[in-house]
Amino acid sequence: MAELTNIKKKIAYHPALLGGIALIAGALLVMADAGTREQIAERQAEDLRASLTQVVGDDVHDNSLLADTIVLHAPMEFSDNASGTTVYRARKDGKVVAAAFQVIGMGYSGAIRIMMSVKADGSIMGVRVIQHAETPGLGDKIEAEKTDWINHFAGLSLGNRTLDQWKVKKDGGEFDQFSGATITPRAVVRAVHKGLAYFHAHQAEILDLEAPHG
Amino acid sequence: MADYRQIMRDGIWENNAVLVQMLALCPLLAVTSTATNGLGMGLATTAVLLASNLVVSLLRNIISNEVRIPVFILLIASIVTLVDLGMNAFLHDLHKVLGLFIPLIVTNCVILARAESFASKQSAAAASFDGLMTGLGFTFVLVVLGGVREIIGSGTLFSHAALLLGNGFSFLDITLLDGYRGFLLMILPSGGFLALGFLLAGKKWLDLRKQDREAEAARRMKVDAINAMSDEEIMQQGEPS
């Protein structure tokens, strides 16, 4: 013990101790990361699959959505991935019947991630919020588990609604806002509308019209 | 030899991290919009406290006084990251609910305070026990605060408990007031401050009442003692102080 006290007095002891512990902690973290990375990726893929199943019913396609993807160039507001946004295509008998992709709306407290799917005819199949940080009890009514507000989007398209109708009622549109929360539904409506416009702009690529896909 | 009974009383009530030391108010107010969130955050914090107190206590002889604070923070941050990674991989559903709050635990000053004031001076067993008890005291306040805010704010209690504890606990999920329109203020952070204020006042009231009772009991004992003495004894000794 006396020996240790003497060593402790040396000035080099402190940086050596801090460095040593940093080294051990770093090594532990690297090991933990390596040990859990696969698991976490798997869980996240499961989450993605689950959110895709919510917007694209299992009965409308016969392929694996995760396996049939294209990455399209997209504005930053669509994805946090610089390389572009990933579009998941649902096929039946080789033909694309619907496509699902993620859009991001800026809500009251940060990004709202939305998974939406559009049928080949340009109408919305389903919309689900997959991640958000809106006020509990107010803004979280956009979740399908809380209210059925989000189901209002199904069947809408750029063709059957005018630009003015793509707004919350407060702004003269046809979507309900929630009492005490207007910013959240406004952000969702705007994001979904943008998503539809994006689908139309890239319809040919998304629907794989040029060449049949193997 | 550490007094385990005293550690327990201190951790849970008498020296409660929130009610007495006023630590960790930031994560406290951020997550207690529902009782379930409070419970989840409390349990995660308890796990980190237990582990960090244990590790700090085991290393207390080699940690030098001059660099102890950075070493503690390094240890705490590593443990929190390990918990975060582990939860993400093995308790993924729970992580989806609490994931946002886990990194916040690093900044929870209760953990650093316990490492500095207790674990760095005590045996591993006492330090672990202290971590557990302080954590449970913190959890207790989080659940009470979350419950109060949830009942007043949205008229429910333990909503989505099944997400945290598994489907076996879905019975905890109660809607107390059907058709309640909600009281927004209580869900927002300002409501957290209000509820916390009442909670602190409540604790103070209980403490003062206990103090009054003890003073009253002491006074009675003194009166009884005087009554039992004869006049001569009083003349000789004066009144017992």
Q: DSSP H helical segments within chain A, as ranges?
A: 2-9, 13-55, 183-201, 203-206
For B80, the closest chain A residue by CA position comes to A29
Please report the pLDDT score of residue B99 as a whole number: 77
pLDDT tens across the length of chain A (214 residues): 566 677 777 888 889 999 999 999 999 999 999 999 999 888 888 888 888 888 888 888 888 888 888 888 777 666 666 667 888 888 888 888 999 988 888 888 888 989 999 999 889 999 999 888 787 667 888 888 778 899 989 888 888 888 888 888 888 888 988 877 889 999 999 999 999 988 988 888 888 775 554 4
DSSP string, B109-174: HHHHHHHHHTGGGS-HHHHHHHHHHHHHHHHHHHHHHHHHHHHHHHSEESTTHHHHH-GGGGGG-E
| Closest chain A CA to residue B88 | A40
Closest to A136 (Cβ–Cβ): which among B33, B63, B67? B33
Contact assignment for A17 to B67 by CB distance below 8 Å: yes
pLDDT of residue B22: 86
Closest CA to B27 of B104, B132, B121, B94: B104
DSSP string, B29-79: HHHTTSHHHHHHHHHHHHHHHHHHHHHHHHTTTTS-GGGHHHHHHHHHHHH
pTM of the model: 0.75
pLDDT, one tens digit per residue, over B56-94 is 999 998 888 888 999 999 999 999 999 889 888 888 877
pLDDT of residue A82: 61
Query: Residue-wise pLDDT tens for chain B (241 aa)?
Result: 568 888 888 888 888 888 888 888 887 887 888 888 888 889 889 999 999 999 999 999 888 888 899 999 999 999 999 988 988 888 887 787 777 778 888 888 899 999 999 999 999 999 999 999 999 999 999 999 999 998 888 788 887 777 677 777 777 778 877 777 778 788 888 889 999 999 999 999 999 999 999 999 999 998 888 888 777 777 776 655 5
- B62 vs chain A: nearest CA distance in angstroms? 8
Express each pLDDT in A120-129 by its tens digit.
Answer: 988 999 999 9
pLDDT for residue A214? 45
Which chain B positions have a beta carbon within 8 Å of A40's beta carbon?
A: 85, 88-89, 92
Smallest Cβ distance to B88: which of A21, A40, A136?
A: A40
Q: Which two tokens stand for residue B16?
A: 């409660």
Chain A residues lying within 8 Å of B61, measured CB to CB? 4
- Chain A residues inside the 8 Å CB shell of B66: 14
| A&B contacts, CB < 8 Å | 72
Block residue for tokens 């109660």:
B174
ipTM over 0.90: no
The answer to whether the Cβ–Cβ distance between B86 and A14 falls below 8 Å is no
* Closest Cβ–Cβ partner in A21, A40, A136 for B71: A21
